[in-house]
Amino acid sequence: MAKTKYSKKLVDVICELYAKGEHSIKDICKMAGISKDTFFEWKKNNADFSDRLKGLEDDRLENYAIMARSGLAKLLDVHEYEEVTTEYVTDPDGKPIVKHQKRVKKKVMPNATAVIFALTNRDPDNWKHKQEMDVTTKGESLNKGLQALSEEELLKRAKELSERFK
């Protein structure tokens, strides 16, 4: 790729694409007609360009969040589409003619992983992955019972337990 000259107009295009957050740096460079090396060289050597990119970082991250929410919404929804299969034959002149066309309506159910993700993050009180264990000893909570013991008594109990599980 030939070395492209740094210009305000080109920087404006790059920054607009960058802020949208829809494209990788590689793709932005391709669309702008520059190499990735040129992009990073400009970022390193041109304070205006570097500062503009830094200033757009919040917009880029917000756009990522919007796309992520939109993508999650699509994964959580049932959607239908029509699949069309077409069979062709050729006429004597070699032109294709539709012989048969089959249309099938298909339904895509929500993505189970996305549903679990949404529920555990949006309503953790009801959907949290919970692992609780209620351990008691002689009618009182194990932790409460152990807190009441002196260090000497704790060591004695630990020794008794280690003997028991040998």
Residue 55 lies in a domain: yes
Residue 2 lies in a domain: no
Residue 99 lies in a domain: yes
Q: Token pair of 44, please?
A: 């390193």
Q: Are residues 154 and 118 in the same domain?
A: no
Q: Are residues 31 and 42 in the same domain?
A: yes
pLDDT at 156: 87
pLDDT at 41: 94
For the chain, the average pLDDT equals 87
Q: Are residues 156 and 115 in the same domain?
A: no
Residue 3 lies in a domain: no
Q: Are residues 126 and 140 in the same domain?
A: no
Q: Are residues 63 and 83 in the same domain?
A: no
pTM of the model: 0.49
Angle at 114 (CA atoms; ends 111, 119), nearest 5 degrees: 125
pLDDT at 153: 86
pLDDT at 58: 92
pLDDT at 81: 93
Q: Are residues 156 and 166 in the same domain?
A: yes
Domain end (from 20, 44, 70) = 70
What are the Cα distances from residue 3, in Å, to 30, 35, 45, 101, 151? 13, 8, 15, 51, 74
Residue 107 lies in a domain: yes
What is the residue-level pLDDT of the chain in tens, covering all 166 positions? 457 789 999 999 999 999 999 999 999 999 999 999 999 999 999 999 999 999 999 999 998 889 988 888 889 999 899 999 999 999 999 999 999 999 999 999 999 998 888 888 888 888 877 666 666 655 555 566 667 788 888 888 888 888 877 7
pLDDT at 31: 94
* Nearest in space to 39 (alpha carbons), one of 53, 57, 59: 53
Structural domain count, the chain: 3
Range of the domain at 26: 8-70
